[in-house]
Amino acid sequence: MHLKYESQLREPLVYGDKTYAQVTEDIVRPIEAKPTRLWYIGFYISVALLMFGVYSVYREVTYGIGQWNLSLLSFCCSAKAGEQG
């Protein structure tokens, strides 16, 4: 059963005499294929970066912003001290 609709405004999207099953197979083939080695390397790098982010949020919640050894008061005082002398 071929349902073929031909538009007068544009060229056909699928050339040849393909069935819907063949078009579906062509579209789904890359998605169903086994991931390559490069994909796994990228996946492991992204998981490592995610874990670093989770650890960073943990440190921030546990120890607060004071762990950076920065404070607005010390920054302002050191800037004013530099201006005075």
pLDDT of the residue at 78: 59
Q: Which residues contact 12 (CB under 8 A, 6 or more apart)?
A: 6
> What are the residue boundaries of the structural domains of the chain, listed by start?
37-84
Instruction: Give the residue carrying structure tokens 């393909």.
Output: 18
pTM for the whole structure? 0.52
Torsions phi, psi for 14 (to 5 deg): -120, 120
For residues 1-27, average pLDDT: 78
Which two structure tokens, joined as six digits, stand for 76?
């302002």
Per-residue model confidence as pLDDT tens digits over 17-66: 888 899 899 899 989 999 999 999 999 999 999 999 999 999 888 887 76
Q: What is the DSSP string of 5-42?
A: ---SSS--SS-SS--HHHHHHHHHHHHHSPPPHHHHHH
Residue 3 has pLDDT above 70, yes or no: no
Separation of CA 50 from chain center: 11
